[in-house]
């Protein structure tokens, strides 16, 4: 099987990490993969914020949990009220993907960059998880404070984040794929 197709099929969301920090060269390769994502009109409307400070990641998780306690979906409220839940699952590195709010396809472009980073992490033997919970802080009253703290450029909004690290435990099995999701005309 083609190596890229094998990586796509074997990638899983990893939610358990060792404390060991990832190698700098692996991080750079993952960030570069994000920069090579397809994007509308070649705008490249993304900005990547790498957080490797454990205390800051804990603070971001706690603040996101506070905001999520009032979320309309019970699933998020339940997670927010679970004391031991960490929004980033204890990953030693988190990449926040922010997009230019004035660029029409920014949300989709940043999603493509996020997927590229997830696939690059898998290719390098790292665990990764696409996470949105940890960004609830940008929906709360302290949004401006956290944007400043994380040096989010003016006019950009954090859309996604990727938790990165070395896997702890077994890789989860793939869920059964839905059938009859393709129509030929």
The count of other CB atoms within 10 Å of the CB of residue 76 is: 19
pLDDT at position 111 is 98
Give pLDDT tens digits for 118-156: 999 999 999 999 999 999 999 888 999 999 999 999 999
CA dist 15 and 85 (Å) reads: 11
Name the DSSP letter for residue 152.
Answer: P
E strand residue ranges, 36-139: 46-51, 93-100, 127-131
HSE at residue 44, side-chain half, CA atoms within 13 A, is 8
3-class SS of residue 83: coil
Q: Give percent above pLDDT 90 in the chain.
A: 94
**Burial of 77 by CB count in 10 Å (0-12 exposed, 13-18 middle, 19+ buried)?**
middle
What is the pTM for the complete model shown?
0.95
Is the pLDDT score of 174 beyond 90? Answer: no
pLDDT, tens digit (0-9, with 9 covering 90-100), for 7-42: 999 999 999 999 999 999 999 999 999 999 999 999
Q: Confidence class of residue 115 from pLDDT cuts 50, 70 and 90? A: very high
For 181, the token pair is 């999701």
Whole-angstrom distance, CA of residue 118 vs CA of residue 7: 10
Mean pLDDT of the chain: 96
Task: Spell out the domains of the chain, with CATH numbers in brackets.
Answer: 3-165 (3.40.109.10)
User: Given a cut of 90, is residue 172 above it in pLDDT?
Assistant: no
Q: What is the mean pLDDT of residues 74-98?
A: 97
């Amino acid at each position: 099987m083609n190596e890229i197709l094998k990586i796509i099929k074997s990638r899983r969301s990893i939610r358990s990490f060792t404390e060991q920090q990832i190698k700098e060269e692996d991080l750079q390769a993952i960030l570069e993969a994000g920069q090579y994502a397809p994007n509308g009109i070649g705008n490249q409307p993304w900005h990547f914020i790498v957080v490797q400070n454990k205390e800051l990641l804990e603070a971001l998780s706690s603040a996101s949990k506070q905001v999520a306690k009032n979320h309309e979906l019970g699933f998020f409220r339940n997670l927010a009220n679970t004391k031991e839940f960490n929004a980033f699952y204890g990953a030693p590195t988190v990449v926040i993907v922010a997009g230019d709010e004035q660029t029409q396809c920014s949300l989709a472009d940043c999603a493509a960059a996020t997927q590229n980073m997830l696939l690059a992490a898998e290719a390098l033997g790292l665990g990764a998880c696409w996470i949105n919970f940890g960004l609830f802080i940008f929906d709360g009253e302290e949004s401006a404070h956290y944007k400043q703290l994380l040096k989010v450029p003016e006019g950009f909004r954090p859309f996604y984040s990727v938790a990165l690290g070395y896997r702890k435990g077994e890789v989860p099995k793939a869920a059964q794929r839905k059938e009859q999701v393709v129509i030929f005309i």
